Amino acid sequence: MGQYGREHGTTGPNPISENTQPVLAPRMRFLRSEPVTEPLPIADALKNTPYRDPNVLAGVSDDSAQYKALDIAVRVGELLLRCGASTRDVESSVVAVAASAGLRRLEVDITNQALLLQTPSPHPGHPPLTMLRVARSSTRDFSRLTAVHQFVERLVAGGMDLDEATKQLRRIQRMPRLYPRWLVSVAFGGLAASVATILGGSWMAVAVAFVSAIIVDRIGRVLSNLGVPSFYSAAAGGLASTMLAWLAYMSHQSHLVGEYVATHLPGSMTMADFAYAISGGIVALLPGRQMASAVEDAVTGYPVTASGRVLTVILACAGITVGVGAGLSLTLSLDNALDLGLQSPGVLRYDSPSTTFLLQVACGALGAVCSAVTMRSRVRMLVPTAVMGALGVGGVTFLVSSIGLGATTATAMAATAVGFCARLLALRLGAPALVLVMPAVSPMLPGLRIFRGMYESVSGSLLGATRVAQSGVGVTTMLGAVGIALALSTGALLGDVLSAPFDRPIVQRRRARRR
């Protein structure tokens, strides 16, 4: 995967001798065979990337210099893998570093968490130099991801030797993580609350989503420190989110609390609010970053890495689904015993009459900022992230309510617009597009569809088929959630690809400033 000794068509003359290939008349030239292919030069592999046209150092002439260049490249790739970058971005960054460091040939193989680099020795007959790095853990650290991007930009722009590059890369590796842990937990709560508001939840649903997301994050933190696998942490989070929302609903239904709320506070905890509160918690739990990277790897031709990441995403989503399903099983059993009358919420809508367009746009911006904080994006990126989040949620709302498009189509179009604008804006700020795209689309993740699918499946098995519209409707709803997730990922990638021809002036201006 990512072999840069791969073949590439040339426009030069055919090297096959005229004695071995028949001479064709001019009017028969359209029958001539294709020319012999040649290896693709390493610098030419950076077309349509932010690192195109690198300033290449003089070719390294000894093994120690080649080793140093290869070490810098493999460490850059490892950092990007740990930060959750797509395989395409990791590969382009590694190739850019190698080309700028003076390597003329490079073989790159990226397999999920492993990165293997190999370059031939400058001395004939000597074995090639090979390096292998394994990223055994992943982090939510877009600040470090931005620092690596800027490091590669400086190296590509020229003016930095290998020794200085090694020192700067070590400083990046030792960078402290932004934001205290309590602020990240509050940001998870803010993301869940903004999603509940976008869906049309009352103040009670928003408050429950906020508190439950913070508690679920702390539970996940404790389980992670104990070495519990992520599948069980996700299941525990889904169970806790569901049970906390149900307890809030039950408290409101009790005579003592219900009368106090009705007398002193506006609004109430309705059956729909029960669903909206859980949906916000599900969005805070969903592995959106891994999901986007997996889809991008599959679309851009990295099937092995895509398969590994898809399996990771499936296991994480399965854990959330198991937790939500277990929580719903308990709550619906108690509901049936106590005759509380819980019902499945209506179809997913973005034009809820209880939430105005401007409020949805504002919550889209707030949710994007909170998501950026959970991913530890830099402070200067928060305002652009809010703009992208408002563009995404506002676009979906407008296309659904005013134009009449379906939710999946509207989501794909809005994600395409976000991907297009985010790459151009992020490159101006010296960051990869992922830093703006992922937080911006987080409020649009299909939390409500996942909850509805689980509710319909569980309620049909526990309370009988009369509580659902038809058999198998839960599976259909879950497939709709998968469609929304794919629309977000493929739309954002399409926007990134469409914006590539327009970012050359931005790249050239930033490179000129760095010289």
Q: Which two tokens stand for residue 345?
A: 């919420």
* Overall size of the chain counted in residues: 515
Write out pLDDT tens, residues 11-31: 444 443 444 445 545 555 656
Is the confidence at residue 198, as pLDDT, over 80?
Answer: yes
- Which of 423, 290, 309, 306 is CA-nearest to residue 2? 306
CB atoms < 10 A from the CB of 37, how many? 11
- Region 505-509 average pLDDT: 73
Write out pLDDT tens, residues 415-435: 999 999 999 999 888 888 989
Q: What is the pLDDT of residue 12?
A: 42
Paired with 129 in beta bridges are: 119
Residue 478 amino acid letter: M
Is 326 within 8 Å of 234 (Cβ atoms)? no
Please provide residue 395's backbone torsions phi and psi, each rounded to the nearest 5 degrees: -65, -45
Q: Would you give the distance in Å from CA 40 to the centre of its chain?
A: 30
Paired with 39 in beta bridges are: 7
- Region 371-376 average pLDDT: 92
Is 367 within 8 Å of 190 (Cβ atoms)? yes
**Which DSSP letter does residue 132 get?**
E
3-state SS class at 282: helix
Is 289 within 8 Å of 140 (Cβ atoms)? yes
The CA distance from 473 to 461, in Å, is 12
**Which DSSP letter does residue 3 get?**
B
Element (H or E) spanning 321, and its range?
Answer: helix 303-338
DSSP 232-256: HHHHHHHHHHHHHHHHHHHHHHSHH
Q: What is the pLDDT of residue 311?
A: 87
Least confident of 75-84, 102-111, 273-282, 460-469: 460-469
Number of Cα atoms under 13 Å in the Cβ half of residue 291: 28
- Which of 346, 338, 336, 332 is CA-nearest to residue 246? 332
- Which of 505, 513, 509, 503 is CA-nearest to residue 422? 503
Q: What is the pLDDT of residue 339?
A: 62
Write out pLDDT tens, residues 64-112: 777 888 888 899 988 888 887 888 888 888 988 888 887 778 888 888 7
